[in-house]
Amino acid sequence: MPIKIQSDLPACKILEQENIFVMTDNRAMMQDIRPLKIAIVNLMPTKEVTETQLLRLLGNTPLQIEISLVRMENHDSKNTDKTYLDKFYIPSTEIFKHKFDGMIITGAPVEQMPFENVDYWKELCSIMDYAKENVFSTLFLCWGSFAGLYHYYGVPKYSLDKKMSGIFMNERTVDGEPLLRGFDDTFPIPQSRHTTLKKEDILKCKDLSILAESAEAGVTLIKSKDNRQIFMTGHLEYDTLTLAQEYYRDIDKGMKVPLPKNYFPTNNVNRMPTSYWRATAHLFYSNWLNYYVYQETPFNFV
C-alpha cells in the first residue's frame, strides 16, 4: 500500500530504506482514486518511533492511504519538540472538520492513573465521541483500548500486581472472523501494561464480542458488533527490540519490573531477542484495512 505522508517526515526515509512504498503529495495526485483517510491519534511519548511502527504496517497492502497525525492540544509533550509537532501533526480540533475512513488511537504511559486524572481526558473523549459518528472504523491499542472501552461501555480497568510484559500466545474465540482471517490457531501478541480487563465485565456488554484471549494475558482482542470499534490490549506494532528498550529504561529508573516473558532467548538479557509476531502484525493490519475499512466504507463517506 502506498502511504501518502510528508516527504520530510523522519519515518519516510526509514520506510523507503525498508522498501515500504511511500508516496509524496505530487505523485498521489496523479492517481485517479480516492485514498483511504486514516487519522493516527498518537499518545505515545516517543512519537517518531510509534509513527514509523504504525506506518510500516499500514504500508503493506495495495491500497493508497492518506495519513493525518493528530496531537492533543491540551497536553505539553515532554519527549517531542513542539516544532516537530507543529510541522507534522494537526491539532485535535482540526479533525472535527473532516471525516475519516479509519482512525488509530494508540496507547499512552498513563494507565496507572484514573482516566479522569489524565490531563487530556476530556479532549480524548471528544475525539472518541466524534469518531463514533464520523470515522468508519476505529482501532484502539493498549491504553487506548482501555480508554475506549471505559468511555463507550463503562468497562473498568484493574491494576496488576506487577507489570505484564512479554510475548503471549492467543487463541481465537470465534469462527469466521475477518480480522483473524489467515491467522494460525495460536498467535503471539506483545503486551506491555500495568492494568487488565475482566472477561465478565465485557460479557455484560451486549454490543461487544470477544475475538481472542490468552491463558496468561486474558482478553486481548474485542470488537463492537457493528465492526466500527476494534480494541486490542497489546502492541502488535512493536519492533523487535521495543520490549527490551522498555525493560532497560525501567531498570535504569530503579523500577522493579519483571523480565519480559517469552522474549529474551533462555531469559538471558544479554542475548538478542527475535521477532516472531511480525507476520501476525502485518496480517492483522491488512485485514483491518481491507475488511473493516476499505470494503465497508462508502465511497462518499468523506
Q: Given the residues 66, 123, 235, 246, select the one marked as catalytic.
A: 235
Known catalytic membership, residue 125: no
Cβ neighbours of residue 252 under 8 Å, at least 6 residues apart?
A: none
Residue 232 has pLDDT above 60, yes or no: yes
Known catalytic membership, residue 237: yes
pLDDT tens digits, 125-142: 999 999 999 999 999 999
**pTM for this predicted structure:** 0.88
| Per-residue buried b or exposed e for 238-269, using 16+ beta carbons within 10 Å of the residue's own CB | bbeebbbebbeeeeeeeeebeebbebbeeeee
Matching residue, cell 506506518: 55
C-alpha count within 13 angstroms, C-beta hemisphere, residue 120: 22
pLDDT in the model for residue 81: 82
Start-to-end CA distance of the chain, whole Å, equals: 20
Distances 219 to 13, 58, 115, 191, 282 between C-alpha atoms, Å:
36, 24, 20, 12, 21
Burial of 90 (0-12, 13-18, 19+ CB in 10 A): middle
Mean pLDDT of the chain: 89
Q: Given the residues 123, 213, 237, 246, select the one marked as catalytic.
A: 237
Q: Under a CB-based contact definition with an 8 Å cutoff, are residues 99 and 85 in contact?
A: no
pLDDT tens digits, 11-51: 566 655 655 555 555 544 444 457 899 999 999 998 999 99
CA pair distance 13, 59, nearest whole angstrom: 14
Q: Given the residues 51, 142, 213, 246, select the one marked as catalytic.
A: 142
**Mean pLDDT across 148-165:** 97
Residue 192 has pLDDT above 60, yes or no: yes
CA pair distance 19, 17, nearest whole angstrom: 5
pLDDT in the model for residue 28: 46
Known catalytic membership, residue 142: yes
